[in-house]
């Protein structure tokens, strides 16, 4: 029997890119006809004609399936929905903008078949076409999170990856609401091979990630995959106690030797502000974890489907 490969594509306002994407992927599908193909498009509450385009594709090609959300739930939710809908023994995740070259699919599939991997993932080795400051912050983020989290995060890793059914099922078992997919992929383990490729620019449309969105997303990742920041309060507490102890001894000695214990209120103000700041900072971190816990305990669905086929 023919094995099935499902291509899962999250789409948010991709009316320009989708037709080009479909054309390209259909070409690759035709060249790999030992597989049965399935295309799962997830319309993540697009405000343009993305859904119409997907429906038209569906009319002409019954390998096309789609899910349409009731609103924009974010790429993470779209990935989850798509993986859930995919029926293939192999599943590949791809962006609609052709930044994930379909030409790599053959190599990815044969690597899994012949070399016994569970997953072939991709990472881009250049960040061409990206603002320098963004690359810099991305580097810092990966460095930091790898220092403080046990889960491994690979710099430049894309969501573009081909997985075996077993790994997909493992990912679907993680039903958390705050989904940091890059971490989830790594957390489930399995034997992963990394393919490297040079960054490709979007064919059409524009990126949905502003700098600000990326920054918030990186906090999401840290909070989701390590509790290390929670220990900061204890570290600060310890350091300040130690410094305070030294100061107390110093002041007692000074008073005994020179008298006049009342000078020095400017330094007092500085110390109070500093400690106040550190306390607020630590409460803020606590708040981040509390907020995530709050959201998780609500147990809301990850996405809501308006229509699917």
Q: What is the binding site for Mg ion (CB under 5 A)?
A: 95, 97, 99
Closer to ligand UDP at the Cβ: 38 or 44? 44
- Part of the chain binding ligand UDP (CB under 6 A), chosen from 70-78, 81-89, 146-154, 297-305: 70-78
User: Least distance to ligand UDP from the beta carbon of 66, Å?
Assistant: 12
Place of tokens 């992929």: 185
User: Least distance to Mg ion from the beta carbon of 209, Å?
Assistant: 8
- Residue 207 sits in the site that holds ligand UDP (CB under 6 A): yes
- Residue 11 sits in the site that holds ligand UDP (CB under 6 A): yes
Return d(Cα 25, Cα 32) in angstroms, integer: 11
- Residue 97 sits in the site that holds ligand UDP (CB under 6 A): yes
The item of ligand UDP, Mg ion, none sharing an interface with residue 76, based on CB under 5 to 8 Å by kind, is none
* Phi, psi dihedrals of residue 134, rounded to the nearest 5°: -65, -45
Closer to Mg ion at the Cβ: 44 or 97? 97
Chain centroid to CA 126: how far?
Answer: 19
What is the spatial order of strands in the sheet that 192-197 belongs to? 192-197, 119-124, 157-164, 90-93, 3-11, 35-43, 64-69, 305-308
- Part of the chain binding ligand UDP (CB under 6 A), chosen from 206-214, 233-241, 267-275, 289-297: 206-214
- Part of the chain binding ligand UDP (CB under 6 A), chosen from 172-180, 181-189, 205-213, 255-263: 205-213
Segment (H or E) for 135: helix 132-148
- Residue 127 sits in the site that holds ligand UDP (CB under 6 A): no
Q: Which residues contact 9 (CB under 8 A, 6 or more apart)?
A: 21, 39, 40, 41, 42, 82, 93, 94, 95, 96
Closer to ligand UDP at the Cβ: 10 or 221? 10
Closer to ligand UDP at the Cβ: 80 or 117? 80
Place of tokens 């000074």: 254
Alpha helices by DSSP H, 174-301: 181-187, 211-225, 232-258, 265-298
Using CB under 6 A as the binding rule, the residues of this chain from 14 to 53 that contact ligand UDP are 14, 44
Closer to Mg ion at the Cβ: 84 or 202? 202
Return d(Cα 237, Cα 275) in angstroms, integer: 9
- Residue 75 sits in the site that holds ligand UDP (CB under 6 A): yes
């Amino acid at each position: 029997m023919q094995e099935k490969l499902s291509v899962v594509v999250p789409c948010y306002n991709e009316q320009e890119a989708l037709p080009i994407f479909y054309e390209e992927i259909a070409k690759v599908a035709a060249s790999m006809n030992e597989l049965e193909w399935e295309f799962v498009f997830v319309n993540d509450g697009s405000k343009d004609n993305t859904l119409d385009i997907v429906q038209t594709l569906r009319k002409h090609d019954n390998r096309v399936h789609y899910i349409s959300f009731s609103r924009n739930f974010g790429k993470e939710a779209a990935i989850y929905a798509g993986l859930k809908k995919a029926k293939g023994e192999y599943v590949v995740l791809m962006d609609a903008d052709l930044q994930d070259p379909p030409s790599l699919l053959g190599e990815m599939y044969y690597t899994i078949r012949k070399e016994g991997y569970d997953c072939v993932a991709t990472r881009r080795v250049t960040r061409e076409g990206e603002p320098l400051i963004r690359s810099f912050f991305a580097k810092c983020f990966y460095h930091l999170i790898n220092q403080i989290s046990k889960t491994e995060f690979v710099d430049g890793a894309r969501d573009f990856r081909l997985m075996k059914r077993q790994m997909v099922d493992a990912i679907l078992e993680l039903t958390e609401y705050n989904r940091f997919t890059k971490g989830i992929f790594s957390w489930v383990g399995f034997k992963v091979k990394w393919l490297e490729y040079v960054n490709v620019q979007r064919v059409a449309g524009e990126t949905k990630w502003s700098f600000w969105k990326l920054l918030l997303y990186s906090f999401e990742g840290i909070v989701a995959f390590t509790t290390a920041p929670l220990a900061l309060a204890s570290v600060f507490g310890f350091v300040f106690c130690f410094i305070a102890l030294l100061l107390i001894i110093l002041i007692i000695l000074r008073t005994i030797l020179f008298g006049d214990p009342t000078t020095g209120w400017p330094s007092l103000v500085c110390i109070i502000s500093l400690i106040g700041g550190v306390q607020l900072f630590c409460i803020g971190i606590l708040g981040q974890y509390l907020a995530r816990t709050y959201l998780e305990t609500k147990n809301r669905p990850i996405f809501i489907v308006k229509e699917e086929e």
